[in-house]
Structure 1
């Protein structure tokens, strides 16, 4: 079975105005990586609590080895996600949102997020960006889009737990490797997409 990936602006998934939901959805789990308890992370948690999201922070207290000097970083996020998904890999109805947290807040509840995800009719939906990162040489390999943003962004994606588990199963990189490049190469490979 091929994994279906779709790119969408992250705001399309997170920043839709609705009224706060009364209770969290039982089949949605938000995973994020936060190595430090920053003000941005606290703001993320407050917004998640306001809208009744179930969140699990991965990596608190670990050293971050990315975004320093020449290293793209982000591999730590893939490693931690891969490990966290091991216990959810067989939960076919569980939807997992994996998102950055230091610069993200929720502006709608789980019901609206799940509605938008299901409308996409894909097993996995990634955020999309205007600019390609980290390897501009891959630009020609991206499909042309008539509307929206063209390039995969690893700052937020959503999918069914078994599909996300399969997506990260191939990860054997280092913590200092680029998570965005890892996901980009999967997206650009028609056999894996």
Structure 2
């Protein structure tokens, strides 16, 4: 039996997410936008709550097409606020739209959002931590604070340092699988 990070033992959805996505270096801009929106939606909630609604988010937010989301008008926002399949928080919905606009600007400036993110990593390599237990894993780091601050300057919101650190973990900018987890070595090799 594989040993995995204990947070991923709660239910099948979390286990599947942990085993196949979490900590895997992601370089596709549309997927990066998806994680940025989902991590912002999670603020104050559990990741499990968001995972259960992920497919609804995909449908509601046009497959996380940032160009489509950036064009949402008030009618579309009101439609989203009536959608029980997502978190119906006006600030979070509005943030998805404004973040899509900021995302496009960053993409235009750097060639891709991924290029922008890689600029924060030494030689574009993910940070390989060596945590032995979940208790050791920080909720934020100096780097997540730096990225958060820069994103806010660029017009993003719902991108505080804790949200950004969770985003960094999700998209493999940092490998925070505990050392005895079977994904620790696998994600470390996926540079």
TM-score, structure 1 length as denominator?
Answer: 0.31
Structure number having the greater helix percentage: 2
Whichever structure has more strand as a proportion of its residues is 1
TM-score normalised over the length of structure 2: 0.31
